[in-house]
Chain A
Amino acid sequence: VPGRHGYAAEFSPYLPGRLACAAAQHYGIAGCGTLLILDQNESGLRLFRSFDWNDGLFDVTWSENNEHVLVTCSGDGSLQLWDTAKATGPLQVYKEHTQEVYSVDWSQTRGEQLVVSGSWDQTVKLWDPTVGKSLCTFRGHESVIYSTIWSPHIPGCFASASGDQTLRIWDVKSTGVKIVVPAHQAEILSCDWCKYNENLLVTGAVDCSLRGWDLRNVRQPVFELLGHTYAIRRVKFSPFHASVLASCSYDFTVRFWNFSKPDPLLETVEHHTEFTCGLDLSLQSPTQVADCAWDETIKIYDPACLTMPA
């Protein structure tokens, strides 16, 4: 997509082959943003619809209760609610953060429809998309927040990763943090929860390492994965394999790991020519991966390591 630098990609939880990509003009430094809705068919990726926003878009999350709805977040400090079935949008804009919002996530546990946002203003905010004002603001981080992710198992529980070098665990029932993990001696750009172990998370940091953390004992990591040669921009646990995860980096690669193996690096994919920022693993296909990068491309592929039996 010429002139747009991809920041985030997310597969739809409803529609196989549908992918949303949040992008910014000029690497996100200035200019507008675009939300791209793509559909995959036999001949490749087709643009279903795109929506522009006034500032760069840095993250995207699909609704868990409506296949048409998604939320993005922007350099102007606001969140946007979009409807893919409408030609223009957004439906709603939520403006409270005072600096860039780098992360949004829609809750995955049933019975609640909540969105969490993480900002460079050092706060996390909780939103009900049907309400115009945030429900709650969480303070504690001492630097920019790069990632905020709901637990897939524990309702109301989410994690945040920050430039203050900590991973923090929160519960919506109180504004004070539950657990602070000094996970790295560098900024932490990404975190994710294991889908098969409710106590396990992974962090990815500027020190080029991935570390696994068991919330029952956070004094030392339960694994460390080395191999990337520049900062890790995003990490995601596999929806299908308990010990498999994927990471993308400023070293332009995407790497796949199985932390239960003595030699955990499964595969390195080098198909981008710029910082790779967006990464997602399909919820419908155990082998499919999407990524996007500042080389203005979005790719969907099936890496060899996932197509082979575990």
Chain B
Amino acid sequence: MEQPGGRSCSGPSPAPEDAAPASVSLAQLLQLVQQGRELPGVEKRHITATHGEPTSSRLPRRPKPWEAAGSARAPAPP
């Protein structure tokens, strides 16, 4: 993520603080980011692709409910 502060949160910040002790509230996080401080417990990973082949599929494709209805081009609802 290039710009932690650049995320547009399209809505108001939640007022209540998260009660779980393992979590930091959004308001606290934004404050830490603005201050340029490290966020607590940020888990860094270095995961890469395995380039393996997908496990073979054994199940047939299921029709969607709207396909099972017969006509895929139903008229507009009333």
- A residues whose Cβ falls under 8 Å from a Cβ of B: 2-3, 13-15, 25-32, 52-56, 64-69, 75-76, 80-81, 83, 85-86, 88-93, 99-100, 108, 110, 144, 152-153, 163, 187, 189, 195-200, 206, 214, 230-231, 233, 239-240, 242-243, 250, 259-260, 273-275, 283-284, 286, 294-296
Assess whether B36 is interfacial by the CB under 8 Å rule. no
Inter-chain contact A195/B55, CB cutoff 8 Å: no
Interface SS of B by simple majority: loop
Q: A3 and B64: CB pair below 8 A?
A: no
Assess the A54–B18 pair: CB atoms within 8 A: no
A197 to B73: give the CA distance in the assembly, Å.
6
Q: Which residues of B contact A (CB under 8 A)?
A: 1-2, 4, 7-8, 10-12, 14, 16, 18, 20, 22-24, 26, 29-30, 33, 39, 41-59, 61-62, 64-66, 69, 72-78
Residues of the A chain whose Cβ atoms lie less than 8 Å from the Cβ of B51: 91-92
**When A67-B59, A75-B1, A197-B74 are in contact, do A89 and B50 touch as well, CB less than 8 Å?**
yes
* Chain A residue contacts of B72, Cβ below 8 A: 153, 198
| Interchain CA distance A66-B55 in the complex, whole Å | 8
For residue B55, give the distance in angstroms from its CB to the closest CB of chain A.
Answer: 4
- Distance of A13 Cα from B64 Cα, bound (Å): 8
- Contacts A197-B77, A231-B11 given; does A27 touch B65 at CB 8 Å: no
Additional A-B contact list (8), CB under 8 Å, known A69-B54, A195-B64, A283-B62: A3-B23, A52-B45, A54-B44, A66-B54, A92-B49, A214-B76, A243-B77, A260-B78
